[in-house]
């Protein structure tokens, strides 16, 4: 496991195929309620190390009947979907 400090708080990722991988890191506050249709706002900071081992939610999607089910992404959908994934060869800041 690899822990790095972000502007919002520490995140814990994993090593995969020689890369440090961090999944589901929030880059903005959830765009729901009063924040819907507004410019992105910074995420709420955290102090405890946050696991970044799973992908975040994806934006709600209309399911086309033309796409075979095997090609659909099986990931939770939510308007709370402003997450990013980082794949990097190193975490030493160099």
Q: Per-residue confidence of the chain (94 residues) as pLDDT tens digits?
A: 889 999 999 999 999 999 999 999 999 999 999 999 999 999 999 999 999 999 999 999 888 888 888 887 778 889 999 999 999 998 776 5
Task: Indicate the pTM of the whole model.
Answer: 0.85
DSSP 65: T
Separation between Cα atoms, residue 78 and residue 75, nearest integer Å: 10
Residue ranges covered by each domain of the chain: 2-60+69-88
Cβ partners under 8 Å of residue 65, min gap 6:
none
Q: Confirm if 82 and 31 have CB atoms less than 8 A apart.
A: yes
Buried b (16+ CB within 10 A) or exposed e, 67-88: eeeeeeeeeeeeeebbbeebee
């Amino acid at each position: 496991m690899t822990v790095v400090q972000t502007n919002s708080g520490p995140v814990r990722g994993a090593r995969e195929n020689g890369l440090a991988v961090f999944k589901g890191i929030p880059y903005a506050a959830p765009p729901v309620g009063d924040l819907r249709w507004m410019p992105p706002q910074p995420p709420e900071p955290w102090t405890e190390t946050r696991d970044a081992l799973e992908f975040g939610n994806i934006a709600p999607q209309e399911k086309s009947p033309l796409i075979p089910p095997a090609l659909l992404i099986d990931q939770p959908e939510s308007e709370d979907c402003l997450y990013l994934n980082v794949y990097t060869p190193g975490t030493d800041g160099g």
